[in-house]
Chain A
Amino acid sequence: MLETLIIIFLSTLFYLAIANRMRNYVKILVFQGILLFLVAAFHLVEFSVFNLILILLETIVFKAIAVPYCLESIIRHNGITRETEPFLPHFVSLLITVAIVVGAILLSGSIDDLILDKFFFVGAVSAIFTGLYLIVSRRKILTHVVGYCVIENGVFILSLAVGNEMPAMVNLGIMLDIFASVFILGIFANKIGDVFHDVDIDSLSKLKD
C-alpha cells in the first residue's frame, strides 16, 4: 500500500512538470497533501495516538487545506494570470523530471539499508530536486512558493522514513512546515502582491551589483 502511494506521489511530480495552469499546481498540492496524510497514517504505526493525531491533522490541515487555500486566494486577489510561464518547454521539463526520478532510483541502488525503505528515499529525493527545478525554471514568484512546498513534501516523506525510530524528527519536520508556510506565504500574501503588482521575478531584480 505504501509503495503504491509513493508511486502515485512520484507521478504527481511528472504532472507538475507539464502543468500549464496555476490552479493545477494548487490542485496537485492538495492531492500531495492527501497522499502524505495516507502515508503517515499507514506508516507511523509505532506512534502514540496523540502524536499521530497531531501529525495527521497537520498534513491534512496545513498541506491539503490551508496552504493551497492561501495560494488560491493569492492567485485570485492579485489577478495572477493562469499560465505558469516556464522558461523551458514542458517536454524538456518532463524529461528533466524523469531524469531526476531515474537519478534518485539509481542512487537508491547503492543503499543497502534495513531502516530506510528505498521507496521513501526515491520519493523524497525526487520531490526535493523537482521542487528545486520548479524554482529555477519558472518565472512567477508564486511558482517558486509551489516549488518550495514540493521540497517540503519531499522532506516530510524523508522524516516519515525515520519516524518510527525517531519520532522527534517528524515533529521537527512539521515545525519546518508551519514556520515556512506561515512566514513565506505571510510575506507573499500581505506584502509582495500589494507592493509589486507584476508578480514575476523580473520585478525582484533591482538588488544587484
Chain B
Amino acid sequence: MITAVYLAAVVCIVIALAFSRSRRLSDLLGILFLGVQTLLTVHGMTHPGLTELGYFCFDAPGLILLLTLSIITYPTLIHSRIYLTKPLAKPSSAAAYSSSCVLLIAAMTMGYLANHAAMAWIFTEITTLSAAVLIYHHRSKLALEATWKYVFICAISICFVFVGILFISLALLHDGCSNLFYADLMAHKATLGTFWMKLGFLFIFAGYTAKLGLFPMFTAGVDAKDKAPAPAGALLASALMNLGFCGIFRVYASISGTPVGNWARTVMLVSALVTLFIATIYMARISNVKRMLAYSGIEHMSVVTLGLCFGKAGFVAAMLHLVMHTFVKSGLFFHFTQLWRVYTSKMIDEMGDYLKLNPFGALVLLFGFVSIAAIPPSGLFFSELLTFKAMIAEGSWVVFALTAFLLTVLLWAFSRSIFRIVFLPATRHVEKIRISSWESVSQLILFALATYIGFNPPAFLLELIGQAAAMIS
C-alpha cells in the first residue's frame, strides 16, 4: 500500500517539478519528496520481508541499499538547491534538473526493491533516462558528448541485460517455470540448464557493468560523472553504482553454490581485477578532480566485486564497503562544488593553497580523502581489511597480492593529487572567497557516519547484511 502511495506521489511530484517555475514551489515539492522517501524507508525497515504490489519486496539487500540511498537523498537535495542558486539557474533548466533528480532517486529505490528480473530492468532503464537529463544540464558541447556516450552505452548495456534475461527465461522454461521472480530462480537453481544460465549471467553481468562501473562498460560512467552537476554526480557515483551491484548480486545469489555460480565467480574476479588495473593506470596520470573521483569509484566497486567473489565473509565486507563508499563518495562530490567556486576549474594543476583559501573546507577535504583512501581510522579500511581476510582464508594469495599492490599505487596517486590541491602553492593567482562552513556540515556528517560504521557497525545493519549473506551459498 505504502509503495503504491510512494509511486503515485513520485509521479505527481516529478510532473509538478517539471512544470514549476517558482523556487518556493520547487522547494516545497522537494520537501514533500523527502517525506515520501523517508516514509517508504521507515515502512520498509519496520516491515522487513514484506512484498507490495507483487513486484517490490523489502528484503535484506534491498533495505540496506534503500536506507543508504535515503540517507544521501537529504544532502543531495540540499546541495542541489545550493547548486541551482549559486549562480541562479534558469527556471526551465532548474525544473528539468529537479524533476529528473527526483525521478532518478525514485527509479533507483524501486530498482533496489524489485524482486523480478524484468521489473529491475525497467527501472534501470528509467535511471538512464533521468541521468541523461542531469548530465546534459549545462547544455554545452562537452555535456552533449558525455550525454550521447552515456545514453548510447547504457542503451547497449540495457540490450545486453535484456538478452541475459531472455536466456535465463529459457533456462526457467525448461524447468516448467514461466516467471522471472528471483525467488523462482532460487527455487530452481539446482536444476537450471548450465548453458543458458552461463550465457544469461554473462550478458546480465556485462550489461550491468555500465551502471556498476566495471570492465567492460565503465567508460560512459566516468564521462557522465565528470559532466553532470556535482550533486547529481554524487548520485551517479554512489547510489547508481549500487543499483548495478544489486542487479548483479541478485542473479549471482540465485546461482551461487552451483557449477554456474563458480564460473560466474571467475568472470567477476577477472572483470574486477582488470578494472582495478585500469583504474590504477588512469589515476596515476589524472588531471581532473571529478574524473579522479569517478575512477576512485571504479576502484571501490572492484573491491566490492572482489568481496562478492569470496564467500559469505567476503560478501559481508563487500556490503559494508558499499554502504560506507556511498556516504564518503557522495560527500566528496558535494565538496567539489566548493572547490569549483574557489578555483572555477576542475584541473588539479590549476589548484593549490586550498588550506589558505578555504581552511575549514580543506580540513573536510582531507578528512574525506583519509576516508576514501581507506587510511585508518577510515571505515573503508576495516571493510578492505575484511575483504583481504576473506581472500587469504580461501588461499587466494595471488589475488590478494595483486589487489594490495594496485591499491597501494592508487593510494600514492590519489594522495599526490589531494596534497597538491591542499598544501602546494597555487600556480596562478586565486581570489579568496567566503564560503560558509555550514556547506561542509553535510560532508562532515557523511564522513563521520562512514567512520562510525567502520568502528561500530549498528546491530540492525549487521543483521540485515547477515540475512543478505544467507542468500548466497
10 contacts between A and B (CB under 8 A): A144-B152, A158-B166, A166-B173, A172-B122, A183-B155, A188-B148, A192-B144, A206-B145, A207-B146, A207-B227
Contact with B along A125-149 (1 / 0, CB 8 A): 0001000100100000100100010
Instruction: Provide the residues of chain A in CB contact with B148, threshold 8 Å.
Output: 141, 187-188, 192, 204
The answer to whether B144 touches A207 (Cβ under 8 A) is no
- B18 beta carbon closer than 8 Å to chain A: no
Q: How distant is the Cα of A196 from the Cα of B142 in the complex, in angstroms?
A: 11
A-to-B contact residues, CB < 8 Å: 110-111, 113, 115-116, 124, 128, 132, 135, 141, 144, 148, 151-152, 155, 158-159, 161-162, 165-166, 168-169, 172-173, 175-176, 179-180, 183-184, 187-188, 191-192, 195-196, 204, 206-207, 209
Partner of B152, one of A165, A169, A172, A184: A184
B-to-A contact residues, CB < 8 Å: 118, 121-122, 125, 129, 132, 141-142, 144-149, 151-152, 155-156, 158-159, 162-163, 165-166, 169-170, 173-174, 178, 180, 195, 223, 226-227, 282, 285-288, 291
Across the A-B interface, the 5 shortest Cβ-Cβ residue pairs:
A207-B223, A180-B155, A204-B145, A158-B166, A165-B173
The answer to whether B151 touches A184 (Cβ under 8 A) is yes
Nearest Cβ distance between residue A170 and chain B, in whole angstroms? 10
Partner of A207, one of B129, B149, B158, B163: B149
Q: How distant is the Cα of A63 from the Cα of B223 in the complex, in angstroms?
A: 31
The answer to whether B145 touches A207 (Cβ under 8 A) is yes
The answer to whether B144 touches A155 (Cβ under 8 A) is no
From B203, which residue of chain A is reached at the shortest CB distance? Answer: A128
- Given A111-B195, A187-B148: A165 in contact with B166 (beta carbons within 8 A): no
Q: How distant is the Cα of A110 from the Cα of B151 in the complex, in angstroms?
A: 35
Q: How distant is the Cα of A176 from the Cα of B157 in the complex, in angstroms?
A: 11
From A207, which residue of chain B is reached at the shortest CB distance? Answer: B223
Q: How distant is the Cα of A49 from the Cα of B335 in the complex, in angstroms?
A: 57
Partner of A148, one of B122, B142, B156, B226: B156
The answer to whether B118 touches A115 (Cβ under 8 A) is no
The answer to whether A155 touches B156 (Cβ under 8 A) is no
- Given A184-B152, A187-B148, A209-B288: A172 in contact with B118 (beta carbons within 8 A): yes
Nearest Cβ distance between residue B196 and chain A, in whole angstroms? 8
The answer to whether B159 touches A151 (Cβ under 8 A) is yes
Partner of A115, one of B132, B173, B287: B173
Partner of A116, one of B145, B170, B282: B170
Instruction: Provide the residues of chain B in CB contact with A188, threshold 8 Å.
Output: 148
The answer to whether B151 touches A183 (Cβ under 8 A) is yes
Instruction: Provide the residues of chain B in CB contact with A169, threshold 8 Å.
Output: 118, 165-166, 169
Instruction: Provide the residues of chain B in CB contact with A172, threshold 8 Å.
Output: 118, 121-122, 162
- Given A113-B170, A187-B151: A209 in contact with B144 (beta carbons within 8 A): no
Q: How distant is the Cα of A168 from the Cα of B118 in the complex, in angstroms?
A: 9
The answer to whether A148 touches B149 (Cβ under 8 A) is no
Q: How distant is the Cα of A110 from the Cα of B162 in the complex, in angstroms?
A: 22
From A159, which residue of chain B is reached at the shortest CB distance? Answer: B166
Partner of B125, one of A173, A176, A196: A176
The answer to whether B152 touches A195 (Cβ under 8 A) is no
Q: How distant is the Cα of A128 from the Cα of B166 in the complex, in angstroms?
A: 14
The answer to whether A209 touches B285 (Cβ under 8 A) is yes
- Given A187-B147, A206-B141, A209-B286: A176 in contact with B162 (beta carbons within 8 A): yes
The answer to whether B151 touches A162 (Cβ under 8 A) is no
The answer to whether A162 touches B166 (Cβ under 8 A) is yes
Q: How distant is the Cα of A110 from the Cα of B193 in the complex, in angstroms?
A: 12
- Given A166-B169, A195-B141, A209-B285: A204 in contact with B163 (beta carbons within 8 A): no
The answer to whether A209 touches B287 (Cβ under 8 A) is yes
From A176, which residue of chain B is reached at the shortest CB distance? Answer: B162
Partner of B155, one of A110, A173, A184: A184
Q: How distant is the Cα of A141 from the Cα of B148 in the complex, in angstroms?
A: 10
Nearest Cβ distance between residue A86 and chain B, in whole angstroms? 19
Q: How distant is the Cα of A195 from the Cα of B227 in the complex, in angstroms?
A: 17
Q: How distant is the Cα of A176 from the Cα of B132 in the complex, in angstroms?
A: 16
Instruction: Provide the residues of chain A in CB contact with B287, threshold 8 Å.
Output: 209
From A125, which residue of chain B is reached at the shortest CB distance? Answer: B163
The answer to whether B178 touches A165 (Cβ under 8 A) is yes
Q: How distant is the Cα of A152 from the Cα of B291 in the complex, in angstroms?
A: 31
The answer to whether B144 touches A195 (Cβ under 8 A) is yes
The answer to whether A183 touches B129 (Cβ under 8 A) is yes
Instruction: Provide the residues of chain B in CB contact with A165, threshold 8 Å.
Output: 173, 178
The answer to whether B155 touches A148 (Cβ under 8 A) is yes
Partner of A196, one of B122, B141, B155, B156: B141
Q: How distant is the Cα of A196 from the Cα of B141 in the complex, in angstroms?
A: 8
Nearest Cβ distance between residue A151 and chain B, in whole angstroms? 6
Nearest Cβ distance between residue A46 and chain B, in whole angstroms? 12
Nearest Cβ distance between residue B456 and chain A, in whole angstroms? 38
Instruction: Provide the residues of chain B in CB contact with A183, threshold 8 Å.
Output: 129, 132, 151, 155
Of A173, A175, A176, A209, which is in contact with the most chain B CB atoms at under 10 Å from its CB?
Answer: A209
The answer to whether A115 touches B151 (Cβ under 8 A) is no
Instruction: Provide the residues of chain B in CB contact with A166, threshold 8 Å.
Output: 169, 173, 178, 180
Q: A176-B125, A184-B152 are in contact. List 9 more A-B contacts (CB 8 A).
A: A124-B163, A148-B156, A155-B166, A161-B170, A168-B118, A176-B162, A183-B132, A187-B151, A204-B145
Nearest Cβ distance between residue A185 and chain B, in whole angstroms? 11
Q: How distant is the Cα of A124 from the Cα of B170 in the complex, in angstroms?
A: 14
Q: How distant is the Cα of A164 from the Cα of B84 in the complex, in angstroms?
A: 50
Instruction: Provide the residues of chain B in CB contact with A158, threshold 8 Å.
Output: 163, 166
Q: How distant is the Cα of A173 from the Cα of B149 in the complex, in angstroms?
A: 22
Instruction: Provide the residues of chain B in CB contact with A176, threshold 8 Å.
Output: 125, 158-159, 162
Nearest Cβ distance between residue B191 and chain A, in whole angstroms? 15
Nearest Cβ distance between residue B470 and chain A, in whole angstroms? 30
- Given A110-B195, A166-B178, A209-B288: A155 in contact with B159 (beta carbons within 8 A): yes
Q: How distant is the Cα of A195 from the Cα of B140 in the complex, in angstroms?
A: 9
The answer to whether A162 touches B173 (Cβ under 8 A) is yes
Nearest Cβ distance between residue A142 and chain B, in whole angstroms? 12
Q: How distant is the Cα of A192 from the Cα of B145 in the complex, in angstroms?
A: 8
